[in-house]
Structure 1
């Protein structure tokens, strides 16, 4: 039976995993079903009814009391085994939600009030466990527990007070799943899950502190709340049993009504979460860090298109000054006339493009080539215009244009240099795949730069039954360590090189078909664009086995040249270095868009920096989960160059959630009162 295998799987792995998500128990509703069945079977212990002793003491307990308390302890331990792990995830999720969702919004959606009710159930369960352990002597105490104490606790649990366990469960359900009453419809009361989604959408809240997608957050919260309610239910069921054991009544009808109400609530809640999850975003990406650190939080392309001063006499083979700067839209350096300023700076050994005239004479501050990839720190023209931030300087040169044979003015032009020498402008296009044959899947991704080449690095882990991942197996797969100069390494086979004419990158959300998970990723060239592909592999939900023979590559082949629904361009104009922004970037791109790598603003940065930067933060949901897709996106703050980063789409196991429980009706015969 699937549910029983889920329980066995959880118990066996309880001491292995330090963090689990819903996928670790397959279906939390199926787990609830198993526990309810166990509780129903416990009623057989109480036939016939016996009179409880005045004092509860382990050596004097009658057989039926011992058996009942043992059953209670066993069921509680089973629930705790799962709950301990789920609460690790849920507590972090709740804490981080408090940081990501504003206080007023949390009040409006009643999140804080709900969490307080959860805390009350946890507190009651803790007392219940202490009593059971004391009765069974598990705390090595010689203190005896009065029967009256346990009776009073049982009465509290099932009382009609709003602060009893029964009352708290009713209030929790009201928050999660409105009952559809006339009053509810009039006041448009929505359940918590729908309200959380609505709050995130309306407040533009980003889950920067939660390392999960909104979809995963809702799913894990749902998990935690189901386990909390299951604890409450078991306390109520066992309280009726204890009261019956102590001859306070039969409580057959009461327990049956309570059980039916509980199962009806669980059915309503699973329907509610399924509806909410349809609207929840499955994507997860990283917000900007508090502090940008090159090589850790970002990497960058260098010297792709860089501001460059060149006299027009050196940009044509005739060494003529008969044209103007605007004439030189695409040329190269042909010489260095009379060893003027050209001999005092790094020459451009590639293409020189997009030249313009700013002023004839200037002061040029060159950067230290040993410490920086910049050519210039700033340029101060005699007309008063300054490019860059005029600060300290490594080396200053006075640069003046001149007249040639009276008739021609040989002007210094401000151009862009496209020189691959000492430039980081390469993308790895080799396949990066998990070890599918050993049942490993991709669970995380990040950008790294190695030997001047941009790589997508994957984090892989062992896939387990019921769409779960073995936490202890998680590791980063090393990137291929090669350079473009290695023997046998070829452009177009191993790597792509960007240039003025080939510098576009596509933004796509690539998703696997239903029943598939991500097992690989790679870049490819589509015309002049860097384009993403993902590998997806089918799997068996129950066994957790991948079928590597049916893996497929998925991509978006659309281009900006298509006549119907072409890709659209995100334009970057006059943008500053992105790490200079004092506020966090926001998502800018959508699926099926692209942009051109370009240079930073001429006035602000002398066009010395290649933008956008590449976000190098790890994108790996916690706890680890299967991925149903991977994408590329662009984020920025207005007037800044922004970042390109990877995002992932978390797997949706909600279709496996069970929302009917016909087998429980068959288990009713275990309830002695029902015979």
Structure 2
């Protein structure tokens, strides 16, 4: 890579200032430090004109301008200060940036507080030499292949992250602001030093300042172009890593009692008490009665209500003629521990201790075999199977946008939660701690007078239990201001995202009344197979993102062999994912162990410069 950042200060051949090509002025400024750089270059030009005229107010004007610029915050992210995985190279980089900041503040303090120009003349050379420190910053970042490779690799590695995978784009953008802030602070300090020396020392320091300006403009534009190329290729997706314990409260949620594995005798599944058919003929029925000599008759009274099926019985098929069944006891979230037979059949955890093992045998009645059937119980009366259709939106009247998304379950209803922050100029947002500002829609209870199915909530059914895994994004000029679930014409649950236009430079949301909800009309084409899953929280090792655009999942039971189909998968990942930046999209994705989770897509500020 071509070496950047070498401001050759010893050259005294100077081009006229009006012939210097200002490359950085030819692009729009998308960060605060970009705008401040442009503002200072203009202010500096005017100050030198004042200095050449030797006006009485020269020192006061120098004081006023540099008081304003050197005391400002340049919009730095201080990405290195937040680096919990600091290596030696980053430590050296951090020390160099600290040196730039401290030297700049030291010279400014002498000037602003004491106005001791004799001391300032001595310190002025420190300000000029500060460029050597900034050259080291460039060598450690812009000109370092290892820097780019390490940055790209670390941002997508869950082992190096504490909660979520920080997008490559976000880290690049934060480094860009920090490096340009260091460059501007170096430049302002050096130019202030040149001005002091020009007023109080012999020598034509104006010519040296012009050379420095020329190289600063060129280097500033080159740094910007290098980062722009990297940002255009960078991944802007932020998603959550696996937590230490998915079983911890609030970390994951389940759909409950939806298509749960259920064992019953064929004779109990029809009103006539007949055994004339086969188990496979019972695809949509119910438990009519409990005949003697069937499994349900052997249950303890306290277990009958828990293990019996009060809803629809779906998808039956036959079991071995003679089976041993261990009913679950207590509130364990399932009906059975295991099923086994003399033929070698083992379903569930057959090694667990059982205090009430029951035998269930097929028998022959009038030359017709009465079989044991394995079915799915769809008991809606005791089931958390609802998805909220109510929108969750930021307060756009107060210029607040969505910066984070999560899924939760309240009153048995899966719903979105959002983080909303106030948007400022140049894409900055309120970065304060906002745990209290995570917002939900107004709460309700399904099947009550305060809610209506199809309007307030969606109910999973055997026929309609699919969720599209879409990523919804908008074009440049709009940011995310709301999310919600909806239902499409196929009966699939879908994600919808609200977008509101904004001015990338002032940070003001505009055309509020034109905020629009967008979804993917072509989603739900390819189903992800979840038929062989165990309970997701039992999985070992890191999960992998397994979905792609236009995929969908269908909620259904865990695998019969490993879990007797006692749980509903996928589970819901309840972790919060947030980036303290504007968003250009939100998506849902599937993790390999059996979780669905939200992801966010950062706003591409480089697209605003096209």
- TM interval, short-chain normalised: 0.7 to 0.9
- Give the superposed CA RMSD: 3.5
Q: 2:497 aligns with which of 534, 538, 552?
A: 534
TM-score scaled by length of structure 2: 0.83
Q: 1:399 to 1:480 in 2, by over 3 A?
A: farther
Q: Is the Cα contact below 8 Å between 2:572 and 2:597 reproduced in 1?
A: yes
1:399 aligned partner: 359
Q: Does 1:648 align with 2:595?
A: no
Total equivalences in the alignment: 572
2:587 aligned partner: 631
**Structure 2 gaps, min length 5:** 1-27
Q: 1:577 to 1:210 in 2, by over 3 A?
A: closer
Q: Is the Cα contact below 8 Å between 1:157 and 1:236 reproduced in 2?
A: yes
| Deviation larger for 165-174 or 265-274 | 165-174
1:513 aligned partner: 475
Q: Does 1:167 align with 2:119?
A: no
**What's the secondary structure of 1:424's corresponding residue?**
coil
**What's the secondary structure of 1:301's corresponding residue?**
coil
1:123 aligned partner: 99
- CA offsets 1:243-267 (integer angstroms, 9 cap, x no match): 4445252222222111111111111
What is the CA–CA distance in structure 2 between the aligned matches of 1:176 and 1:253, rounded to whole Å? 30
**What's the secondary structure of 1:302's corresponding residue?**
coil
Give the C-alpha shift of residue 530 in structure 1. Answer: 1.0
1:377 aligned partner: 337
2:514 aligned partner: 550
Give the C-alpha shift of residue 511 in structure 1. Answer: 0.9
Q: 1:568 to 1:219 in 2, by over 3 A?
A: same
2:187 aligned partner: 233
1:31 aligned partner: 36
Give the C-alpha shift of residue 341 in structure 1. Answer: 2.3
Q: 1:481 aligns with which of 431, 438, 443?
A: 443
- CA offsets 1:34-56 (integer angstroms, 9 cap, x no match): 23334444446755899xxxxxx
Q: 1:463 to 1:499 in 2, by over 3 A?
A: same
TM-score scaled by length of structure 1: 0.76
Give the C-alpha shift of residue 87 in structure 1. Answer: 4.3
- CA offsets 1:156-206 (integer angstroms, 9 cap, x no match): 554xxxxx532343344456556xxxxxxxxxx86956x467546998988
Give the C-alpha shift of residue 355 in structure 1. Answer: 2.9
1:619 aligned partner: 577
What is the CA–CA distance in structure 2 between the aligned matches of 1:574 and 1:314, rounded to whole Å? 28
Give the C-alpha shift of residue 426 in structure 1. Answer: 1.0
**What's the secondary structure of 2:177's corresponding residue?**
helix
1:576 aligned partner: 534
What is the CA–CA distance in structure 2 between the aligned matches of 1:66 and 1:537, rounded to whole Å? 45
What is the CA–CA distance in structure 2 between the aligned matches of 1:413 and 1:272, rounded to whole Å? 66
Q: Is the Cα contact below 8 Å between 1:24 and 1:468 reproduced in 2?
A: no
Q: 1:218 aligns with which of 155, 163, 172?
A: 172
1:389 aligned partner: 349
Q: 1:115 to 1:233 in 2, by over 3 A?
A: farther
Give the C-alpha shift of residue 611 in structure 1. Answer: 0.8
**What's the secondary structure of 2:486's corresponding residue?**
strand
Q: Is the Cα contact below 8 Å between 1:207 and 1:214 reproduced in 2?
A: no
Give the C-alpha shift of residue 384 in structure 1. Answer: 4.2
Q: 1:471 to 1:117 in 2, by over 3 A?
A: closer
Q: Quick one: higher RCO (CA 8 Å, sep 6+), 1 or 2?
A: 1
What is the CA–CA distance in structure 1 between the aligned matches of 2:293 and 2:360, rounded to whole Å? 13
What is the CA–CA distance in structure 1 between the aligned matches of 2:378 and 2:387, rounded to whole Å? 17
What is the CA–CA distance in structure 2 between the aligned matches of 1:24 and 1:419, rounded to whole Å? 59
Q: 1:287 aligns with which of 223, 238, 241?
A: 241
Give the C-alpha shift of residue 119 in structure 1. Answer: 2.2
**Pairing 1:452-531 to 2, within 5 Å after superposition:** 452-471=412-431, 475-487=437-449, 489-526=451-488, 527-531=490-494
**What's the secondary structure of 2:257's corresponding residue?**
coil
Q: 2:74 aligns with which of 78, 82, 101?
A: 82
